[in-house]
Amino acid sequence: MLTKPTTPTDSECAAETGTDGTSLPVTIPALRPTEQVEILAPGHVRLRLIIAYDGAAYFGWQRQPADLSVQQRVEEALTRIFPGGTGVSGSSRTDTGVHAVGLCAHVDVPRNELRFPPRKVLLAVNAWLPEDIRVLAVSRAPPGFHARFSARGKQYRYRVWNHAAHHPLWRRQAWHVPRQLDVSAMKRAARAFAGRHDFLAFSASPGYERRHTVRTVTRCSVVRSGPLLTFIIEADGFLYKMCRGIVGTLVQVGLGRFAPESIPDLLAARDRQLSGMTAPAEGLVLWRVYYPARGAAPRTREFAERPAGNPSDEHRPG
């Protein structure tokens, strides 16, 4: 069984305290993940994993008390190979039904249990995983690497099938919008999201007080290939359901519900009720996580604002 990591210090638990000094509700899972601990224990090796999954059958990435998650399946597979390993820390806590092709995670395993090279770890782990989850790459990570806190940005992609009839091969991985969309208007609106803005109007409430809602979007584009639309959004971090709020609003721009020129005003209003709908989960894919060059310091927990155990998303800075 994967073991619990070293208990964090008070400073390491800073993200579990609200801005007014009161404690935020925290639910600790059965296997406490290493995302609360950055120190590599003596005699252990840190492995970095790149994971892909079809999220349709899972209640998100993060382990849940009663529901099946991707993290649970990955930890169960790793336990078969490394009984003395720690829990798995993921770069993102994707929501129920959201997919991934490039989620990064790390796990610490005892050096004496690592008896074969990373390429064989990949084969061994996948042998114990269900078909809708796969580890695509395994490598040794430096001791200071942390899948969540070392991340500098993420790219999500969202697919919309814009045709009168939904394509059966996209039924679980794209949002079906049967009405014709004005893609030109959507592209103009998408450009307005680029830059550093307060994205409160395009996120849902996570159920706790957020320290800040400003994010920097480095790319927001719409690419069309026949009936298939792909929304590509890159940012230094994402608020809860921020990607889906942006995509839902852009689709409503394409339907004439909003003018492309209205996006700056919606951002400035900071009112979720004024902006567009939240797109459904099935079209969203965590595509890639960006990290600094080796040796750069990880981000602090002050920036990764969400305490462990709160509802998953796609995603806050962590």
The whole-angstrom separation of Cα 62 and Cα 92 is: 9
Task: Supply the pTM of this predicted model.
Answer: 0.81
pLDDT of 222 reads: 98
Name the band, by pLDDT with cuts 50, 70 and 90, for residue 255: very high
Cβ pair 152, 41 in contact under 8 A? no
Same fold, 11-149 and 153-287: yes
Count how many Cα atoms sit within 13 Å of the Cα of residue 135 in the half-sphere of its side chain: 29
The residue among 237 and 3 whose pLDDT is bigger is 237
In CATH, the architecture of 153-287 is 2-Layer Sandwich (3.30)
List the CATH code of the domain at 11-149: 3.30.70.580
Helix ranges restricted to H, 29-138: 70-81, 118-127
Distance separating alpha carbons of residues 66 and 49, to the nearest angstrom: 25
Left if phi > 0, otherwise alpha if psi is -120 to 50, otherwise beta: which for 148? alpha
Active site residue 20: no
Q: 224-240 pLDDT, tens per residue?
A: 999 999 999 999 999 99
- 138, 121 contact by CB (below 8 A): yes
* Confidence at residue 38, expressed as pLDDT on a 0 to 100 scale: 58
Listed by start position, the domains of the chain span 11-149, 153-287
* Residue among 95, 108, 236, 313 flagged as catalytic: 95
